[in-house]
Homo-oligomer: A and B are copies of this chain.
Amino acid sequence: METITIKDIAKMCGVGVSTVSRAINDHPDINQETKNIVMQVIKENNYIPNNSARNLKRSDSRTIAVLIKGISNPFFSSMIKIFENEIQRKKYSFVLHRVEEQEDEIDVAVELVKEKRLRGIVFLGGHFTHTAEKLEQVKVPFVLSTIGVKENNLINKGFACVAVDDFKESYKMVDYLCKNGHKKIAIISSSISDESIGKRRLEGYKKALEDNHIFYNMNLVRTMREDIETYTMKNGYEVTKDLLESNEEFTAIYAISDSLAIGACRAIMEAGKNVPNDYSVAGFDGLEIGLYYNPSLTTIRQPVEEMAFETIKMLFDLINKKTTPDSKIFPAKLVIAESTRKI
């Protein structure tokens, strides 16, 4: 099939090439009727304007990468979808790059900046314990989005962050459980070595217990299994099955993500027990499935849309030098649903 050129279109319309060009580029200096005819002919012949020279330049510079590490929490899918839309809307390209667990995301980022001549980066989720010196190797604007950062580490050092306060929000949930009479609250948390959101959420749990004068029982602290993908329903299911079989007493489970909480509910049901009559179950994130699950899930709802929009806004403000890096902490909401009860 031969490729149609702008000359062919001009010929078919009986106008000059410059007129076709004006029609394509929405130039004001063209008769509306002529323009309509040209556009109609273009459409009928499936002609695609050849802007390769301009586009080459564009493809070299108008690219944003989103780097996501490991975790396949559906929470991130909603964010990625908004990133896609917003980046596309700004006529930039969007490259999604998954960083392997053992890779260093900063090294990957530095390499990608060179390869793709990126204009900006979003680091999404995952651990993040790099020093300021290391982060300074990234020579393009970037935003750390929903990444658990160590207190007094990055946030206060002038890097761009969008997040919730994982400590405070986790405290809110555990405090709610305590106030509803629960004294034996199990937690499904991340591994002890984790320095990211998992750790902050665990610290919130501990502090809430302490403030409610409840004994901190190490046997009720259950970490996700390392041989199963983390933050998944399957992981929550297996950990809860082990907990139930351990005969350790508890009245509530707080899982640090909704996916884990759903797995926990399923394990409880399969053991012939009821949520919330036998055990209350609470999650964290505010996934849509929590509303449709049976029972609907008590959770901490992160303002995922606002956070995603803010991430992109912040990134483009940095690219356009409209702002300097800053952190924005969003409040999350305790959503009380059917999966927890007063005892």
A→B interface (CB under 8 Å)? 1, 46, 48, 50-52, 55, 58-59, 72, 74, 77, 81, 84-85, 88, 93-98, 107, 110-111, 114-117, 133-134, 136-137, 232-234, 237, 262-263, 265-266, 269, 288-289, 291-295
Contacts and interface: CB of A to CB of B under 8 A. Distances in A.
Nearest to A1: B136
A98 B114 contact: no
Contacts of A48: 107, 110-111, 114, 137
B96 A84 contact: yes
Given A59-B115, A115-B59, A294 B292 contact: no
A218 to B, nearest CB: 28
Contacts of A294: 265-266, 269, 293-295
A95 B98 contact: no
B289 A262 contact: yes
A237 B296 CA distance: 14
A275 to B, nearest CB: 8
B98 A85 contact: yes
Contacts of A116: 59, 93
Given A1-B136, A93-B116, 8 more contacts: A52-B114, A58-B115, A77-B77, A84-B97, A94-B96, A95-B95, A262-B289, A294-B295
Contacts of A95: 93-96
A97 to B, nearest CB: 7
A128 to B, nearest CB: 17
Nearest to A85: B98
Contacts of A134: 46
A227 to B, nearest CB: 17
Contacts of A110: 48
A115 B266 contact: no
A51 B114 CA distance: 8
Given A266-B294, A289-B233, A294-B269, A114 B81 contact: no
A55 B94 contact: no
